[in-house]
Amino acid sequence: METEVTVDQFDSFVKETGYVTTSEVIDENRYSCVITDYEINIISHDVERNWKYSGFSREGDHPVVCVSYQDVQTYANWLSDITGQNYRLPTELEWDYAATPGTDTTFLWGERLVNQCNYANAADLTPSSLGRSWTYKANCIDDYWYTAPVGRYLPNKFGLYDMAGNVAEWVQGCFVSQDTYKLHGGVNDEDKAPINCKHHIIKGGSWASVTLKLRPHIQGKFPNGLTYNTIGFRLVRDLLD
């Protein structure tokens, strides 16, 4: 997909299926959405927060957040069923290829840090509504403290938007171990991932990320059942033979 999945797109899925997301089911095995809010300097679980209200105001064209790996798989299966196409999360190799088409620069926009705000929504000079500023920030203004509408910034050479910043994105790859990661040249081997994978990979950085976290090869790992207001997703569609 050219963009990250939006609130409106996810809302259509929920309305049609009645699906209840991970962060809306609170029991001894699941937790509410993890809220990162540097505007008031807290990181916390909040039982009132989920994909419908993630701790900040956003419109339907913003990327959906507070969705778990399991939520994403359910959405992908639903979209595949209603379209007759096979939608899924990208593998880490696919994501890396899509993020850096024909480039060998540190960032998708090149080497000049001041160009970050043309391509990415991340920590920058934009003040919060309370007048706070990021401690470590790019020397530019992207106009958004939290998420921005998808497609708000320039695309990469493949025409893909927000491959850096806005929300970090789940990918299919299982984080096996740091040793395995290094062994395979900085990319986890999808074929060697355990069936009962407990931690999946995120890529791309988010609205709360410092510039160095926006480098395409940077990888995060997060538990499958947890949700965060900095993490969303995009899907790929398999081409039919």
Residue 198: burial class (beta carbons within 10 Å; 0-12, 13-18, 19+): exposed
The predicted pLDDT at position 185 comes to 45
User: Cα separation of 121 and 141, whole Å?
Assistant: 9
Digit-by-digit pLDDT tens for the chain (241 residues) are: 999 999 999 999 999 999 999 888 866 555 678 877 665 555 556 667 889 988 787 899 999 999 999 999 999 999 999 999 999 999 999 999 999 887 788 888 888 888 999 999 999 999 988 888 888 899 999 999 999 999 999 999 999 999 999 999 999 988 876 555 444 445 555 545 556 788 899 999 999 999 999 999 898 988 888 899 999 999 999 987 5
The predicted pLDDT at position 13 comes to 98
The reported pTM is: 0.89
At 152, list the tokens: 């708000």
Beta bridge partners of 54: none
Residues 6+ apart with CB under 8 A from 55: 33, 35, 37, 46, 49, 229
CATH code assigned to 7-237: 3.90.1580.10
Domain ranges, ordered by start, for the chain = 7-237
Within 13 A of 225's CA, how many CA atoms are on the CB side? 10
The predicted pLDDT at position 194 comes to 55
Residue with tokens 């039982």: 47
